[in-house]
């Protein structure tokens, strides 16, 4: 082994304890299954390759190796470095050292590579050992790879992490608020469309990878799920959990998100990249998961947690060194594991678990899987919710921190958000204030709210704006009516409106000379006449329409046919009648001659016979209208409950439903 002797002894003892190796008479041997299971792994374990049945002495091997050409040595080292197996291609298997033409043949002839089945050659264990100078690996394996670190103030680490944590919670909330109103549809393959992901990225001021992470984390935490729009389109919707989640303090919300991320098998880092088939991965696609993801995250955090406070991963080289360490700890993971670990580190930074490359106390709790502890640890670091905003003369309101939910909700109604982050900038405009009035606020309420919520006096321009909007709000009123009534005679109109008999017409006086009715004109008009009024109808342009209705007439039909058509048609009819009569005659003539089969099975048998014989039969048939009749047919095919037959009367092939055939007899 390329390792310290004591450590080797410890490791061996451990293997013996685990019964993965046993003390054979010839020395310690691995269980036969172990060697097979580890075959094909590059680099590290090729020392465990089985030796030849009768291995030559190490000296001999060394001598053979010394006698090789440089090209052959290089090839041998390459095979060794890549798992001790290779394919030979065109190299001949049996060749003497003198006649070897290529490096591969040279090696085979000296039995430094041994042909196995097919065109595979293997490197015998003793050759590999000799090649590496008597050791199992070229690199030392007992040294734990170090981490590249640098010093960083622990307070800064905590602040950076808290900032990121706050950001991610805010973004998830923003995203789901947005999706509550405009949910994106679920792709047929189950994911989120690239276009929708781009929209998310724009909305949240992040890049697409960041957007994918937010979306995936929200899903892992159970805050979004597939739902349906009223019209049945499947869409991504916030779950009911989201409502509960929104009401919790930021730190708990964060812990929930992180917990979801930590134990999920999703791989958000793949979003936007292409799978081996060249199809790009969509966020939320069901296949976007890996059984290794969770282990990669936990391992990455565990290693990170080993760093003492005040020490963080170095910028640039730190991540690579951590990946190397994890690789040493878990040598038998597939190559994607390293990518997963790298991604996990990046995601941990975005989610505020780590900050500036180190773990703050909250992150350490996460690494220990203590979510409530983590929430408690990060809580003091997060911005306190504020209840007040600063109102300014340029019609903006600035909340210098996260606003209390209730205040935020109200402010949201009255103003538009202009900028988000640690603080929120709102802008008042006539449009946004009108929204408030639409929701039932009065100018007084708006002003009271602003006074209550503002730390500073309400600026005069804002007061003017509120008054301006209040003044014009509702100055035009719109309603629904089926008809209107106009009269110059105010008294007559008033009398009509107040007439108890007119109550059902739904009349309402808008002005002394104008009333509206909820009854349509065609109901209103006769009723008004009954009530003794003599109304005239006004057209849309205000002109009076004469009450006498136009006499109604249909257009006379004018059909012109070419002269010969009538004769031709008649001739065809005559022909058809003649044919029908003749067929009828035949049916008549054949009737007494043969017995009619009326049982369904008999009918089917008779039809099959007729098909085989190619004869003509008469069938009793009930048509679509329930009328029964007889047809003279030549059956052609019978399947699926349908008979296909040449109908003599129609002079064409027709289909008949078998269950409607009442009887069959030969013609």
Partner 1 sequence: MNDGPLIVQSDKTLLLEVDHPSAPEARKAIAPFAELERSPEHIHTYRLTPLGLWNARAAGHDAEQVVDALLTWSRYAVPHALLVDVAETMGRYGRLRLEKHPVHGLVLSSTDRPVLEEVLRAKKIAGMVGARLDDDSVAVHPSERGNLKQALLKIGWPAEDFAGYVDGEAHAIDLDQSSWTLRPYQTEAAQSFWDGGSGVVVLPCGAGKTLVGAAAMAHAQATTLILVTNTVSARQWKDELIARTSLTADEIGEYSGAVKEIRPVTIATYQVLTTKRKGVYAHLELLDARDWGLIVYDEVHLLPAPIFRMTANLQARRRLGLTATLVREDGREGEVFSLIGPKRYDAPWKDIEAQGYIAPADCVEVRVTLPDGERLAYATSDPDTRYRLASCTHAKIDVVRDLVRQHAGQPTLVIGQYIDQLDELAELLDAPVIKGETPVKERQRLFAAFRTGEIGLLVVSKVANFSIDLPSAEVAIQVSGSFGSRQEEAQRLGRLLRPKTEGRSAHFYTIVSRDTVDADFAQNRQRFLAEQGYAYRIIDAGDLTAEPS
Residues that bind partner 1 (CB under 8 A): 156, 159-164, 166-167, 205-207, 210, 349-350, 380-384, 390, 392-396, 398, 400-401, 419-423, 425, 456, 459-461, 464, 468, 472
Quote the tokens at residue 510: 């808008």
Which one, 222 or 400, has the nearer CB to partner 1?
400
CA angle (303 as vertex; 297, 307 as ends), nearest 5: 135
CB 242 → partner 1: shortest distance, Å? 22
Quote the tokens at residue 369: 């899987």
Residue that has been written with the tokens 């709102």 in this structure: 426
Which one, 326 or 343, has the nearer CB to partner 1?
343
Give the span between the Cα atoms of 203 and 206, in whole angstroms.
Answer: 8
Give the span between the Cα atoms of 72 and 66, in whole angstroms.
Answer: 11
What are the Cα distances from residue 417, in Å, to 379, 426, 574? 26, 4, 85
Which one, 425 or 483, has the nearer CB to partner 1?
425
Contact residues for 27 (Cβ-Cβ < 8 A; gap 6+)? none
CB 205 → partner 1: shortest distance, Å? 5
Give the span between the Cα atoms of 581 and 587, in whole angstroms.
Answer: 10
- Tell how strand 311-313 and strand 27-30 pair up: unpaired
Which one, 476 or 491, has the nearer CB to partner 1?
476
DSSP 586: H
What are the Cα distances from residue 173, in Å, to 200, 275, 411, 421, 431? 12, 31, 17, 13, 25
Quote the tokens at residue 338: 């390293």
Which one, 454 or 579, has the nearer CB to partner 1?
454
Which one, 419 or 575, has the nearer CB to partner 1?
419
DSSP 483: E
Which one, 378 or 502, has the nearer CB to partner 1?
378
CA angle (109 as vertex; 107, 115 as ends), nearest 5: 75
Give the span between the Cα atoms of 444 and 122, in whole angstroms.
Answer: 90
Which one, 342 or 396, has the nearer CB to partner 1?
396
Which one, 37 or 393, has the nearer CB to partner 1?
393
- The stretches of 18-82 forming alpha helices (DSSP H) are 32-38, 58-66, 70-81
CB 339 → partner 1: shortest distance, Å? 21
Which one, 166 or 437, has the nearer CB to partner 1?
166
CB 407 → partner 1: shortest distance, Å? 17
Which one, 331 or 461, has the nearer CB to partner 1?
461
Give the span between the Cα atoms of 363 and 305, in whole angstroms.
Answer: 8
How deeply is 597 buried, as exposed, middle or buried, from its count of CB atoms within 10 A (0-12, 13-18, 19+)? buried
CB 319 → partner 1: shortest distance, Å? 15
CB 414 → partner 1: shortest distance, Å? 17
- Tell how strand 416-419 and strand 85-87 pair up: unpaired
What are the Cα distances from residue 553, in Å, to 406, 522, 545, 550? 68, 21, 20, 9
Which one, 121 or 206, has the nearer CB to partner 1?
206
How deeply is 152 buried, as exposed, middle or buried, from its count of CB atoms within 10 A (0-12, 13-18, 19+)? buried
CB 316 → partner 1: shortest distance, Å? 13
What are the Cα distances from residue 609, in Å, to 590, 597, 640, 660? 17, 12, 17, 19
CB 294 → partner 1: shortest distance, Å? 24
Quote the tokens at residue 389: 């905003």
Give the span between the Cα atoms of 396 and 427, in whole angstroms.
Answer: 4
CB 360 → partner 1: shortest distance, Å? 11
CB 394 → partner 1: shortest distance, Å? 4
CB 39 → partner 1: shortest distance, Å? 43
Quote the tokens at residue 334: 């597939």
CB 391 → partner 1: shortest distance, Å? 8
């Amino acid at each position: 082994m390329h390792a310290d002797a004591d450590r080797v002894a410890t490791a061996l003892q451990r293997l013996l304890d685990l019964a993965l190796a046993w003390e054979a008479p010839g020395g310690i041997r691995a269980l036969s299954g172990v060697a097979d299971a580890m075959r094909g792994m590059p680099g590290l374990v090729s020392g465990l390759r089985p030796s030849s049945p009768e291995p030559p002495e190490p000296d001999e091997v060394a001598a053979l190796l010394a006698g090789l050409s440089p090209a052959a040595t290089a090839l041998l080292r390459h095979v060794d470095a890549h798992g001790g197996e290779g394919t030979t291609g065109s190299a001949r298997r049996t060749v003497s050292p003198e006649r070897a033409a290529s490096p591969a043949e040279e090696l085979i002839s000296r039995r430094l590579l041994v042909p196995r089945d097919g065109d595979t050659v293997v490197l015998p264990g003793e050759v590999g050992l000799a090649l590496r100078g008597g050791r199992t690996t070229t690199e030392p394996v007992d040294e734990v790879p170090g981490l590249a670190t640098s010093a960083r103030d622990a307070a800064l680490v905590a602040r950076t992490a808290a900032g990121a944590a706050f950001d991610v919670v805010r973004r998830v909330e923003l995203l789901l608020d947005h999706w509550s109103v405009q949910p994106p549809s679920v792709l047929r393959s189950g994911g989120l469309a690239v276009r929708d992901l781009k929209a998310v990225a724009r909305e949240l001021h992040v890049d697409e990878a960041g957007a994918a992470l937010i979306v995936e984390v929200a899903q892992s935490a159970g805050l979004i799920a597939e739902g349906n729009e009223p019209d049945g389109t499947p869409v991504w919707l916030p779950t009911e959990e989201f409502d509960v989640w929104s009401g919790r303090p930021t730190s708990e919300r964060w812990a929930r998100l992180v917990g979801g991320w930590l134990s999920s098998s999703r791989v958000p880092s793949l979003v936007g990249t292409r799978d081996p088939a060249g199809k790009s991965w969509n966020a939320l696609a069901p296949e976007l998961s890996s059984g290794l993801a969770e282990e990669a995250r936990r391992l990455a955090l565990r290693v990170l947690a080993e760093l003492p406070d005040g020490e963080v991963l170095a910028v640039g080289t730190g991540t690579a060194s951590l990946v190397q360490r994890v690789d040493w700890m878990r040598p038998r993971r597939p190559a994607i594991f390293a990518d997963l670990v790298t991604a996990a580190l990046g995601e941990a930074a975005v989610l505020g678990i780590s900050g500036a490359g180190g773990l703050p106390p909250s992150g350490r709790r996460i690494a220990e899987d203590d979510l409530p502890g983590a929430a408690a640890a990060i809580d003091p670091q997060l911005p306190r919710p504020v209840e007040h905003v600063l109102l300014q003369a340029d019609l903006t309101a600035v909340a210098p921190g996260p606003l209390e939910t209730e205040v935020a909700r109200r402010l949201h109604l009255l103003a538009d958000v202009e900028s988000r982050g640690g603080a929120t900038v709102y802008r008042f405009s006539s449009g946004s204030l009108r929204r408030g009035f639409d929701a039932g606020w009065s100018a007084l309420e708006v002003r009271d709210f602003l006074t209550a919520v503002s730390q500073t006096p309400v600026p005069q321009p804002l007061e003017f704006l509120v008054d301006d909007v209040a003044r014009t709000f509702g100055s035009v009123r719109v309603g629904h009516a089926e008809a209107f009534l106009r009269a110059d005679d105010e008294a007559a109109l008033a009398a009509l409106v107040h007439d108890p008999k007119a109550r059902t017409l739904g009349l309402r006086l808008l002005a002394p000379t104008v009333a509206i009715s909820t009854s349509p004109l065609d109901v209103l008009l006769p009723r008004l006449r009954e009530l003794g009024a003599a109304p005239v109808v006004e057209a849309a342009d205000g002109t009076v329409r004469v009450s006498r209705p136009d006499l109604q007439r249909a257009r006379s039909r004018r059909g012109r046919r070419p002269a010969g058509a009538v004769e031709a048609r008649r001739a065809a009819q005559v022909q058809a009648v003649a044919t029908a009569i003749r067929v009828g005659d035949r049916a008549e003539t054949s009737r007494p001659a043969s017995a009619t089969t009326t049982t369904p099975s008999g009918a089917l048998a008779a039809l099959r016979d007729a098909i085989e014989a190619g004869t003509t039969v008469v069938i009793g048939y009930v048509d679509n209208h329930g009328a029964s009749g007889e047809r003279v047919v030549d059956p052609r095919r019978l399947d699926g409950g349908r008979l296909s037959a040449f109908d003599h009367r129609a002079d064409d092939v027709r289909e008949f439903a078998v269950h409607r055939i009442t009887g069959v007899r030969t013609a």
